[in-house]
């Protein structure tokens, strides 16, 4: 496989058509080597338009979803970021290149170790991995400029929204199959948040988050 040609095709045929046009994001996807964050058994599929299996029943999001999330966050170099769902560490690596500091939370010990090893191997020095239940965030190190949930949830817990700075953004994929939406929350002040639905997609559930109540009386 010609890896660089496959990477180019991923960017031009999958990611650009999905309205990812930020030149900074596109150039970053050409630099950060996605194949180094993919389990060895699936390395040949690193640039395919699909989710890839990870240990403990988890998966990497499709490249176009990762890219779109990264673009929509509109990170600045001075900002601090909290990611929930480290997976293999690839999204944390992308976030780290566009921000000052990233803390990524992973409930699976196996994946936390994988993410740490992959980030170290890629020489990403401003991203750290914590093996904790990310559904409660990391209040001891809040507030954050941006929070991203790298997977889907039925609803975003208030405890995470509370960990945003004023003006901070939280990006999550919210809902139930077959209808999920990437939703951006922005903290307006100490007690209010605005929200905007950005695009439709489907993503696997993050572990540790409660499902929404199905019935109300």
In this predicted model, what pLDDT tens digit does every residue of 6-22 receive, in sequence order?
999 999 999 999 999 99
Strand partners, 179: 176
What is this structure's pTM? 0.95
CB atoms within 10 A of CB 159: 12
Total count of domains within the chain: 1
The Cα-based distances of 26 to 22, 94, 183 in angstroms read 6, 11, 22
Assess if residue 89 is contained within a domain. yes
Give the whole-angstrom CA distance, residue 175 versus residue 201: 10
Q: Is residue 40 a part of any domain in this protein?
A: yes
Q: Over 50: is that where the pLDDT of 217 sits? A: no
Q: What is the mean pLDDT of the chain?
A: 95
**Residue 149 within any structural domain of the chain:** yes
Residue 207 belongs to a domain: no
Q: Is the per-residue pLDDT at 144 higher than 80?
A: yes
Residue (of 63, 59, 138) closest to 102 by Cα position: 138
Beta-carbon neighbour count of residue 146 at 10 Å? 23
- Phi and psi at 128, nearest 5°, equal -125, 150
The more confidently predicted of residues 57 and 93 is 93
Which residue range forms the structural domain that includes residue 129? 3-201
**Strand (E) or helix (H) holding 94:** helix 90-97
* 213 located within any domain: no
pLDDT band at 213 (very low <50, low <70, confident <90, very high): low
* Alpha carbon 122 to chain centroid, angstroms: 18
Nearest to 39 by CA among 111, 96, 108: 111
Res. 40: pLDDT tops 50: yes
d(CA 172, CA 182): 6
- Nearest in space to 38 (alpha carbons), one of 77, 84, 81, 1: 1
Element (H, E) at 169: strand 164-176
In a domain, 208, yes or no: no
CATH number at residue 111: 3.40.50.150
CA-derived radius of gyration, the chain: 16
Judge whether 206 lies within some domain. no
Which pLDDT score, from 0 to 100, does residue 216 have? 38
Say yes or no to pLDDT of 206 above 50: yes
Residue 173 resides in a domain: yes
**pLDDT of 1 above 90:** no
């Amino acid at each position: 496989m010609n890896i660089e040609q496959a990477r180019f095709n991923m960017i031009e045929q999958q990611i650009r058509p999905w309205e990812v046009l930020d030149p900074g994001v596109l150039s970053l996807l050409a630099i950060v080597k996605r194949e180094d964050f993919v389990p060895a058994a699936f390395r040949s599929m690193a640039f395919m338009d699909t989710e890839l299996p990870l240990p403990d029943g988890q998966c990497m999001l499709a490249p176009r979803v990762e890219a779109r999330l990264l673009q929509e966050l509109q990170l600045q170099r001075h900002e601090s970021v909290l990611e929930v769902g480290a997976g293999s560490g690839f999204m944390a690596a992308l976030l780290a290149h566009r921000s000052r500091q990233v803390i990524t939370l992973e409930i699976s010990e196996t994946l936390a170790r994988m993410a740490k090893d992959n980030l170290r191997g890629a020489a990403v020095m401003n991203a750290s991995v914590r093996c904790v239940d990310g559904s409660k965030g990391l209040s001891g190190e809040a507030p954050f400029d941006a929070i991203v949930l790298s997977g889907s949830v039925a609803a975003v817990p208030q405890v995470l929204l509370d960990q945003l700075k004023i003006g901070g953004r939280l990006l999550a994929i919210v809902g139930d199959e077959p209808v999920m939406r990437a939703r951006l929350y922005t903290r307006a002040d100490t007690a209010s948040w605005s929200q905007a639905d950005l695009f439709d997609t489907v993503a696997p559930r993050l572990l540790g988050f409660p499902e929404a109540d199905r019935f109300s009386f």
